[in-house]
Every structure is written in C-alpha cells, then in structure tokens.
Amino acid sequence: MNKISITCLAFFSTTMAVIAAPLVDYKNPSLSAEVRTDDLLSRMTLTEKVGQMCQYVGIEHIKKSEKYLTLKEMQSGDAHGVYPNLHSSKMPDLIKKGEIGSFLHVVDPKEANQLQQYASESRLGIPLIIGIDAIHGNGLVNGSTIYPSPLTMASSWNLDLVRQSSVETALEMRATGSQWTFTPNIDIARDPRWGRVGETFGEDTFLVSEMGVAVIEGLQQGDFTGDKKVLANAKHFVAGGEPVNGLNIAPMDLSLRSLKQDHFPPFKRAVDAGVYSFMAAHNEVNGVPAHANRFLFTEVLREEWGFEGFVVSDWMDIERLNGLHRVAETQTEAVYQAVDAGLDMHMHGPNFLRPLIKLVEQGRITEARINAAVRPILLAKFRLGLFENAQVDASAASDILFNAKHKQTALELARQGIVLLKNDSLLPLPQGKKIFVTGPNANNHTMMGDWVFKQPKENITTVVEGLRAVAKPSTSIDYFDLGSQVKTLDPRQFAKAAKRAKAADVAIVVVGGNALRYDRKGKTAGENVARSTINLYGEQLALVQAVQASGTPTVVVLINSRPLAEPWLVENVDALIEAWEPGALGGQALAEIIFGEVNPSGKLPITIPRSVGHLQAIYNHKPSTYVRRYIDAPTKNLFEFGDGLSYTQFKYGKPTLSASRIAENESTRLSVTVKNSGDRAGDEIVQLYIRDNFSRVTRPVKELKGFKRIHLDAKQSQEVTFDITPDTLAYFDLDMNWRVEPGDFTIMVGSSSRKTDLKTVTLTVKP
C-alpha cells in the first residue's frame, strides 16, 4: 500500500469510529434539555445524584480561612464557611468523584474555570453551577458594576431600570464564571432594627412583588437558555423580614392570614414569573423552622403554586435544625427533615451527602424524591449551556464589567432612587457658592451597601468627588475630613467643623450607616448587624448640630440602609436627602441633585418612624392601630411610605372611574390627570391605593395596588390610568377564600400614601 492509501484508510477508519459511536443523548446538544436530563439521570449512581444536591464554598475562600484562622476559630462559628475536618487540598478529589454539584463564593473567574475543569474530569463530566450573592450587581467580584442597593432601587419605583440592571448583572456574572444569583430578596421588611432592610425592596407587599418580578425577568429572561442569562433565586421563604426583636434568624410567629396576604404574594408572583430557585429562610415560622417546613416547601410552593425549579437551603441552616432549633436530634435527622420538607440542595459543605445516602438506603427517603431534586438542577445546567462550555474567557471580562452602558444604568438608578425628604427652599444650590462639606460618609465607599467586597477606588464616586466633579469653577468646595467611620467620630473636631461651616454659604453634612461587608469593625448594618435603636449612630447627630449651630444653612445627606429615626434632623436642618446606598456612581447622582442638574424623584418604599419605640410602623396598618396615642411623644411617623419631594410641583385632578358600580368579577378603569404646575421638568410617581370600606375581616386603612412613573415637562399634563381588576379588590375572607366582597371601596390616587396627598373616588361592587 502506498502512503496515500494508508492515509485514506486511517481517515476512513477514524470517521467510521466517530459514526459508529454516536454521542450519548445527554452529550448531544441537538436534543432538548429535557431529553438530555432524563438520559443523564438514568446513568447516574445514587452518590452522583446526591452529589448534585451538594454545594460548597469555593476552594480559595476555604484557603483564606485556613490561612487566617486557627482551627479553634474555624470550629467556633459557622460564618467562616470552612469545613473543620476537610482541608482545601481534598476538594479537587471530591469534585472529580462527582460528590459536589455546586459552589458559592467563587469570586475569581480563574478559580471558576479550575473548578469546572475538575468537574469535567468526573465520570460523567457534569459541570458545576456556581452561585453568588449578586444582589445589586455582582459586588463580591472585583471590578463589577455596583448598582444602588435594592432599597434604593425600590425608591426609584422604576421597574424598567431595575430589570435592565439585572440583565447587565447577568452578563457580568456569566463573564466571570457564575450562573446563579441568590436574589431577589423579596422579604417584607417590617422592622428597621433588622440589619438586612437595605437588601430588600421595603415594606410593601405589592411594591416588593413588582420589584422581585422585574429582577427575575432581567436575570432569567424567560427560561435562561444560553450563556448570557442566569438563574434567579426567590429568598428567603418566608417571613424573615419581621423577626422577633429585629434580630436576624430570630423566630417569626404570625397568623396564617398575615402569611398569606403579606408575606406569600411576592413569592407566588416570583413563581408565576418563572423563578427557577428558592431559598429557605433562616427563621422558624410558627414553630417549625423554614428548613424543615413541609407546609411551605411542598404543600404551598409545589402543590399549590406549581413551582418546578429547585430549593436551596441557606448557609448552615440544615445543621441548625439540629444545633440551634433542636427539632432534629442528629444531623442525619436534620437532613431527613429538610429533604422531606422539599429542600433540594444543601448550602453548604460535607455534612449532607453521606447522611442522605444513608437515608435512601434505609428507605426513609425514596430515590424518586432524590430524582425530583436532581432533575431541575441538571435541567438548569443544560439550559445554561454549561455542558457545551463551562469555561469563561477571563480576559474578555474587562469589556463587560463596569462598562459605559452598565455605568449609565447604575447612575440613572441612583438619580431616580435618591429621595428628597425636606427642603426649606435651600435646594437646588446655585453654582458660585462656598460649600463646606463634612461627615463620615462624605468621602468613603459606604454608598455601595452590603454584599460588596472592596472595589477599585477609581470605580467609586464618593459624595465629595461627585460634588467636585459637578461644581463649576465659580463654586468652591471645602471638605473637612473627619475620618470615614460613622462609629468613631471624634467630637473634639466638631468646633473646628463649625468654624469652617460658618465661613461657608452652605454646609453639607453626610452621615448615616455602614453596611460594608469587608469593614467588619465599622459596620452598623448588613447581615447579622441588628440595632436596638434606629437613630444616628454615635456622635453623628452632635456633629450635625454643631454645624447647624454655626448659622450656615445646612443640608444633611443620609447614606444608610434602613429607616433612620432622628426627629431633630427633620425639625431643624434646612434640607434632608435620603440617599440610601446609591451605588458606585452615587456621589455623582447626589451632586447632580444638589446642584439641580437632576430633579429628585425617588419616593420612600418604607415608613420612617419617630423612634424605635414606635415600631411596628407600616403605612398599611389596621384601622384600630392609632386610635390611642403615646403620652410621651407624638404618635406620627417622621415620613410616610411613598413620600418624596421634587423641585417642581404636581397637581392631581379629580379621579374618575370608567364604571363606578361593577359586579364581583368585573373590572373598571381609573383615570386621573396629573399636571406639572411648576416651572421645571420632573418625574412623578403616581400611586394608587385602595381601601375596602367595610369587610367581614378587618382590612388595612390603605393598600398600594398600582404605581406609574411619569415624566412631565413644566406645565405639562398627562392622563394616567389604572385598571382595577377583581384581583385588586379581593382579599382572604372569613373562611380564607380569596374573593371580592360586595360593598364600597375607596380608591385613592396621589403622590404619597398620606391622606392629604390622595384624591379619592368611590367604587361600588354590587352584591
């Protein structure tokens, strides 16, 4: 045989070999994700299946703890994410054995690639799904766009921008190796002592639901197929936002009625929007820890709502069934209760796989239950395209992270989310003035909020930097640096601050809180950082008082993550801005508002009470809540839900209904004309509330049922309409049936939840 025929033969036999060994179904990208999932599942051993239900923190995270913590420290708490008896060097083997299906806290794309490489070397080569807390941008990863915190987003009432920020977050995540974010946090925040208020969308069930859906739509964009989308996670199911004493993880005892009407709706809406994963809450709910709660995860979530995705536990909470709640005598029993309740994945670590295998071998958990848990996890990995390519090109990430488009979205959200609370004709400031600036949050990064690690300095615009950038040369900015910690101000400096303020035309004092995850000692808010008071921390009020006493008109800017009860501020300063945590470009947005380049338009998504003693302070309270008064303080809140000022004024006409008498199953349409009666353009958030005037079960004095953000030029008017459907009017009646009760409803429309801001019309539902 000559050389050519040998080559031909070799080519022929190789080709034949390829033809003879067709791809097994699960490896065949031309088949549907469902067919591939079933094929893969049929090839898996029990250990491999249970492996898919196991999530661990990243190897680098473990190594860091190994480096800085003693074994004793590692074993003393559960917050460090290490596994006392498992050294990081053992992890690659576990992945290759198929005993790990997921990771979290992987913040470097190179590490993500390495982990995926190990997974590809396992018997079936099943890729990992990597989860991360990308709560407002992928902030745990260096160089990401830090969008305003969820509470700030909610203050914008702008669903399109929130959705857009989620689309962009998904891109930034995929570029750096993660495909699953533990967001939206759709807890109803009803206690501002709780440290996590800033990562929620506030106190209102309707607003939280709308925001949650916008986030899910942006992240998943349908069924998240492809390499540009990620899985969302509805958390924490349920009721963690109202913990007893305001302390994270503390129990929640509440009526079935409150669960159904106040806490469930955002989660039900999330399921309807196709959210593919759920996370259980740390807390117990009416005596049964969420992690062992069959009612929540099987009866309600799957059987009633038809959820088809998978449920992950929260950080160490299956372990807590045994060690904290004491509903399980052993870890194996804890695993049994959690899986039996409906949990599908364990965050995090080694104390799950063996106990669960043992439970299946004993027949206490069926293999069918394991298959039901694993199927959606695998399906997600197929849809996300991980079987085709789990590696990311780390060098390409720099074009995506914090790019011009993403920065613009973050800036616009900050502009729209900042809330002007008080303005005695001081703002906007004209250029050409001498401005004195001070305060612990004036020149630091607290505006990034929680769930963020240190970011490049050049990516973050502090308030001082923003003011300097927006100020014209005729304006002078005199910044007095008092340090960047809200907890440790030195009062000996305050006289000097007052002196410099006196020499200026206007003083700006930037105070508030600190939720920065990486600033352990400086934090006053964030996960596990509750407060027993909710006023300004430490010496901050004294600083404001010293500056204000100088006689110079004073603007106070709050950068903080939860309602701050400080009546003195409201009564005494000339202007008050609640900036919440406006993200990477927050300083710029604030400066634009202060100098009037942007007209403020944010509205509060949460009530600001007068003091901690005034809690619970929610706008949708029951009729009898305030029939009696406190004898030692005004009963009124400092600010109401929906409050927020503009530099222009909006006037509401008389609302009308397309039909004012309808049957129980009919709808009507409300129309109202809103006019910008001032002399500059501005955005208004038109809010719709209802009250069921008489009902067999008491109803809140008002409930938000719709909102629209509109833009109006000076003197421009617009007709705004809202559809009032049976769902707008229905409630859980005496027998817990969801229905519309005949009778009169007061329909209210206006610029906040305050009675004085609302125009009303009566709707009758005929018997």
Q: Which residues bind ligand BGC (CB under 6 A)?
A: 104, 133, 182, 235, 314-315, 527
Nearer to ligand BGC, 407 or 517 (CB): 517
- Tell the residue number behind the tokens 């004195």, with chain if given: 436
Distance CA 477, CA 469 (A): 10
Nearer residue to ligand BGC within complex by CB, 183 or 548: 183
Residue 290 vs 418, nearer CB to ligand BGC: 290
Nearest approach, Cβ of residue 744 and ligand BGC (Å): 43
Q: Among 300, 297, 302, which residue's Cα sits nearest to residue 317?
A: 297
**In whole angstroms, how close is the CB of 315 to ligand BGC at the nearest point?**
4
Structure tokens at 60: 């680098």
* Ramachandran category for residue 450: left, alpha or beta (phi over 0 → left; psi -120 to 50 → alpha): beta
How far apart are CB 57 and ligand BGC at their closest, in Å? 9
- For the bound state, the minimum distance from the C-beta of residue 81 to ligand BGC, rounded and expressed in Å, comes to 8
Other beta carbons less than 10 A from residue 93's beta carbon: 10
**Whole-number minimum distance, CB 186 to ligand BGC, in Å?**
12
Q: Which is nearer to ligand BGC, 81 or 109 (CB)?
A: 81
Burial of 222 (0-12, 13-18, 19+ CB in 10 A): exposed
- Residue placing its CB nearer to ligand BGC in the complex, 133 or 204: 133
Distance CA 180, CA 173 (A): 8
Q: CB 529 → ligand BGC: shortest distance, Å?
A: 12
Write down the least CB distance from residue 441 to ligand BGC, Å: 25
Q: Which lies closer to ligand BGC via its Cβ, residue 58 or residue 587?
A: 58
To 5 degrees, how large is the angle CA 236–CA 241–CA 243?
A: 110
* Shorter beta-carbon distance to ligand BGC: residue 185 or 205: 185
Between 107 and 154, whose beta carbon lies closer to ligand BGC? 107
Beta strand 54-57 with 758-765: parallel, antiparallel or unpaired? Answer: unpaired
Q: Return the DSSP state at 304.
A: I
**CB-side neighbour CA atoms (13 Å) of 504:** 30
Least distance to ligand BGC from the beta carbon of 526, Å?
A: 11
764 to 647, 661, 691, 761: CA distances (angstroms):
37, 5, 12, 10
State in angstroms the smallest separation of the CB of 688 from ligand BGC: 32
**Residue 616 Cα to chain centre, angstroms:** 22
| 153 alpha carbon, distance to own chain's centre | 9
Q: Smallest distance, Å, CB 90 to ligand BGC?
A: 22
């410099």: which residue's tokens?
500
Q: How far apart are CA 154 and CA 514, in angstroms?
A: 19
Q: Which one, of 719, 714, 122, 56, lies nearest residue 349 by Cα?
A: 56
Which residue's CB is nearer to ligand BGC, number 235 or number 523?
Answer: 235
Give the C-alpha separation, 496 to 492, whole Å: 8
Shortest Å distance, C-beta 613 to ligand BGC: 28
Distance CA 464, CA 481 (A): 10
Give the integer Cα–Cα distance in Å for 653 and 636: 28
* CB closer to ligand BGC, 128 vs 589: 128
435 closest CA partner among 590, 327, 600, 293 = 590
CB of 235 to ligand BGC, least distance (A): 6
Nearer CB in complex with ligand BGC: 182/201? 182
Q: What is the number of residues in the chain?
A: 767
Whether the CA torsion 480, 485, 489, 490 is positive or negative: it is negative
For residue 543, give the nearest of 534, 554, 532 by alpha carbon. Answer: 554
Q: Report angle CA 515, 520, 526 to the nearest 5 degrees.
A: 30
Nearer to ligand BGC, 183 or 550 (CB): 183
- Pick between residue 61 and residue 614 the one whose CB is nearest to ligand BGC: 61
For residue 410, give the H/E element and its range.
helix 404-417
What gap in Å lies between CA 531 and CA 562, rounded to an integer?
Answer: 11
Task: State the Cα–Cα distance between residues 183 and 198, nearest whole angstrom.
Answer: 13
Please state, in angstroms and rounded to a whole number, the distance separating the CA atoms of residues 298 and 283. 17
In terms of CB distance, is 36 or 517 closer to ligand BGC? 517
Contact between residue 55 and residue 346 where contact means Cβ atoms under 8 Å apart: yes
| Helices 331-341, 353-361: crossing angle, 10 deg rounding | 70
Which positions ≥6 away from 604 have C-beta within 8 Å? 155, 202, 419, 421, 578, 639, 640, 641, 642, 643, 644
Helix%, strand%, coil% for the chain, nearest 5: 35, 20, 45
Q: How far is the CB of 69 from ligand BGC (least distance, A)?
A: 18
Q: Which residue's CB is nearer to ligand BGC, number 74 or number 507?
A: 74
Interior angle at CA 596, CA 593 and CA 600, nearest 5: 45
Q: How far is the CB of 546 from ligand BGC (least distance, A)?
A: 39
For the bound state, the minimum distance from the C-beta of residue 448 to ligand BGC, rounded and expressed in Å, comes to 17
| Beta carbon of residue 575, minimum distance to ligand BGC (angstroms, whole number) | 35
Nearest CB to ligand BGC, comparing residues 186 and 437: 186
